Chain A
Amino acid sequence: MTIEVDVAHRLGAFTLEVRFTSQGRLTAFFGPSGSGKTSLVNVIGGLIRPDRGRIAVDATTLTDTASGIFVPMHRRRIGYVFQEGRLFPHLTVRQNLMFGRWFTPPQERKVELETVLDLLGIGHLLHRRPGGLSGGEKQRVAIGRALLASPRLLLMDEPLAALDEERKAEILPFIERLRDEANIPIIYVSHSLAEVSRLANSVVVLHNGRVAAAGDPAEVLSRSELVPQDAVEEAGAVIEARISQHDIEFGLTMLQSNAGLLRAPYLDLPAGTIVRVRIRARDVMVANAPPLGLSALNVLAGKVIELRTSGESVAEVAIDCNGVKLWARLTRKSVETLGLKPELPVFAILKSVALDKGTLGKSPLSENLRGADLGVRLQDEGLARRLVQGNGGLP
């Protein structure tokens, strides 16, 4: 599953000049609007012929301007899920789903309708027409349609951007399943930090048509200078943690991370699952002494490693907790009151309820690491579910 891209293309006053290689199951293109994400995806999908460059997926060259190779889009076998779904209004859901499959040579058909219906939960929609579907249903059908063409690569261009928060939450688990269960590499375009940090195995940050950073999400997404201005409220650290046990009495889930123990509202995932936790800088408080009489359940010891002012009143403090870098967004006044400076031992404090659906999700690592060292198992999963049904757990 290797994707190699090295292209340059001019679109009016905008220049796209991108070079990266990704091995990940889900590679996210992340950046503000106008950074060239969609153009880049269109170049990969063959909707745009680049001025110069080369694109290859798993050793198959799709575009190579030097040797005059340009595979037309209908022969690329690259699935494309568009932001607006683009379902065919004159066909039923079933006909929409089977459209791409019909054009796939029989020996290349690797994806079955049953599998897709099951994966995306759209079996009951087969005889409906797109006009009568909700936004979330449309997007699931669009994903299924692309999958049934048995693509060698799946492009998803802001598939959730047109949906409200509730619908997004409805679809995200399906995309997680797709990432973990379908054997198809995915390129996922988004300007949402929440989506990217939850889904990506690898991130390519685009800025003004160029690659600003690329690599491991935990590393890349913690660098606030790379986060688009409109997402700065959401910015913070992204860390991996393992579910060590569930606290049935209080409906909590214990997460063991290198930074220390975190308590989150109950997650409906088995113990041992690796989850990805985004700790928003604005949710982190800082104390210079062990706090007493505090409601927040998560207190992590560490030391200040960096101070950065951002704007008139706000400062960002980087705290090293046992090798894990967390960010805290504080007022400059607090920084001065506490006398924060590099090397000062501090405590990072995080409310458990700040770890919610928007910041927690099954890590792409969990498939690889499952069973490695499972830790404590949940004794009565059914009971736990009854106790905290619908309470902060993932669907």
Chain B
Amino acid sequence: MEGWLHLSPEEWTAVRLSVRVATVAMLASLPIGVAVAYLLGRYKFPGKSIVDGIVLLPLILPPVVTGYLLLLTFGRRGPVGSFLAEQFGIVFSFRWTGAALACAVMGFPLMVRAIRLSIEAVDRRLEEAAGTLGANPLWVFVFVTLPLIAPGIIAGMILCFAKAMGEFGATITFVSNIPGETQTLPSAIYTFTQVPGGEAGALRLTLVSIAISMAALMVSELMARWVGRKIWTE
């Protein structure tokens, strides 16, 4: 039993990669997520239901389909992918950045949904009050709206992070399963289950996966409680 829980260097690489991919996916989609949630929560515009649908699409499509669409669009020969590679030298295909992109796209609907709900719950009369006190719309957003939706933003971030930690289908379709570059935890577990004698490794990574997810959940709970206490009580 001694050393059974000891992770090999390759397994550590997969763990570190997964955390990095999920963190980048979460942080990169945050500003866009807040903007889209604000747009959908506050404004009525023609084609709103279409935008709404596109945002939710990754949630209902098979992940493999999303991954394949990413490959077609952001792949080296895809329209967006080739443009980004030539103009800015940004390459997604078969890189960890591509894994982050796939995870961000998959986690986006969950993030937007959580933030949008909290934006819709904001008492707009408070924003009006801030306006009468001399705050222009940008300051109203920064000093009133943003603090009030902070719990929703935290929830959205954690959902996105959790989704990214577990993302498998879109990632493996888009950027494959390259150890050290695109092999995240789920891909590594999947690889272990495909080789004889891999059960122990699969189980170890499963436990790590559970530990990270639980930790993320607890951190979010603590943050939400802290923010909530700041807002609603003495």
Contact = CB atoms under 8 A, between A and B. Distances in A.
Nearest to A78: B132
Nearest to B147: A90
Given A131-B233, A132-B234, A88 B132 contact: no
Interface stretch (B108-116, B121-129, B164-172): B121-129
Contacts of B131: 47, 72-74
B231 interface: yes
A77 B134 CA distance: 7
Interface residues of A, number: 29
B134 A103 contact: yes
B87 interface: no
Contact of A80 (B126, B129, B148): B129
A80 B137 CA distance: 17
Interface in B192-225: none
Nearest to B140: A74
A89 B232 contact: yes
Interface centre among A72, A80, A88 (most CB of B within 10 A): A88
B19 interface: no
Interface in B18-76: none
A86 interface: yes
B126 A86 contact: yes
B117 interface: no
A79 B231 contact: no
* Most-contacted residue by chain B among A76, A100, A145 (CB, 10 A): A100
Interface string A109-153: 000000000000000000011011000000000000110010000
Contacts of A80: 129, 132
B129 A86 contact: yes
A184 to B, nearest CB: 14
Contact of B231 (A84, A90, A103): A90
A70 interface: no
Contacts of B231: 89-90
B136 interface: yes
A45 interface: yes
Nearest to B134: A103
Contacts of B143: 99
Given A86-B125, A90-B148, A103-B139, A131 B232 contact: yes
B132 A84 contact: no
B233 A88 contact: no
Contacts of A174: none
A104 interface: yes
Nearest to B227: A90
Interface string A85-114: 010111000000001100110000000000
A129 B233 contact: yes
A145 B133 contact: yes
Contacts of B126: 86, 88-89
A78 B133 CA distance: 8
A101 B126 CA distance: 17
B21 to A, nearest CB: 33
B84 interface: no
B130 interface: yes
Contacts of A132: 233-234
Nearest to B148: A90
B85 interface: no
Contact of A131 (B125, B129, B132, B234): B234
B91 interface: no
Contacts of A149: 133-134
A85 B11 CA distance: 57
A321 to B, nearest CB: 45
Nearest to A155: B132
A18 to B, nearest CB: 20
A88 B130 contact: yes
Nearest to B133: A100
A88 B130 CA distance: 9
B230 A45 contact: no
Given A47-B128, A82-B125, A146 B233 contact: no
Contacts of A129: 233-234
Interface in B129-182: 129-137, 139-140, 143-144, 147-148
A82 B127 CA distance: 13
Contacts of B133: 74, 79, 99-100, 103, 145-146, 149
Nearest to B123: A86
Contacts of A131: 232-234
A135 to B, nearest CB: 16
Contact of B134 (A47, A84, A88, A100): A100
A368 to B, nearest CB: 30
A78 B132 CA distance: 7
B134 A90 contact: no
A137 to B, nearest CB: 13
A129 B229 CA distance: 11
Interface in B60-108: none
A121 to B, nearest CB: 20
A37 to B, nearest CB: 17
Contacts of B234: 128-129, 131-132
B135 A103 contact: yes
9 contacts: A47-B132, A73-B131, A79-B132, A80-B132, A86-B126, A86-B128, A89-B231, A128-B234, A131-B232
Interface of A: 45-47, 72-80, 82, 84, 86, 88-90, 99-100, 103-104, 128-129, 131-132, 145-146, 149
7 closest cross-chain pairs (CB), A and B: A103-B134, A100-B133, A80-B132, A86-B129, A132-B234, A90-B147, A90-B231
Given A74-B135, A88-B129, A149-B134, 11 more contacts: A74-B131, A75-B134, A76-B132, A80-B129, A82-B125, A82-B129, A90-B230, A99-B135, A100-B133, A100-B134, A128-B234
